[in-house]
Amino acid sequence: MLRADCDYSLEAWAYKMMQPVIGGTVVPAYFGSWTFSLDTGRPNQQRWVRMILIELVEGESMLDMMLPATMDKHGEKGVVDYSRLPPEDFRLRVLQNILKPRSSSRGRLG
């Protein structure tokens, strides 16, 4: 549970810090983060839920691209068929672009 709380806090902080520089362009627009409790149906027991609200970015996700590659000819989930994924050089360019540092004349994050 502690790891999930730390991950949530770090992700919310990152979105908040990126907004003035690249929010709504390179990363989705960030609208806030909240923690709230849900009733579990058991007396005196709640479940805490964390939520980060960000912009919906239309398009095909990496999961959308990979899911068909994990289905066999009968539609059953199986081993990944890499031939059905975008070409490896394309996937590597996407990863390189994600990891490439971006310079900005508007300042640093943090």
Provide the 3-class DSSP secondary structure of residue 77: strand
Q: What is the pLDDT along the chain (110 residues), one digit of tens a residue?
A: 788 888 999 999 999 999 998 888 888 999 999 998 888 888 988 888 999 999 998 887 777 777 776 766 666 666 777 777 778 888 788 778 777 765 544 444 44
| Residue 110 included in any domain | no
pLDDT score for 52: 95
Pair (69, 38) in one structural domain = no
Q: At a CB cut-off of 8 Å and minimum separation 6, what does 37 contact?
A: 46, 47, 48, 49
DSSP one-letter code for 101: -
pLDDT score for 10: 93
Provide the 3-class DSSP secondary structure of residue 72: coil
Single out the residue in 24, 41, 58 at which a domain terminates: 58
Angle at 100 between CA 102 and CA 56, to 5 degrees: 75
User: How many domains is the chain built from?
Assistant: 2
Rounded to whole angstroms, the Cα distance separating 17 from 32 reads 12
pLDDT score for 26: 82
Pair (8, 46) in one structural domain = yes
Domain of 78 in residue numbering reads as 59-101
Q: pTM for the whole thing?
A: 0.55
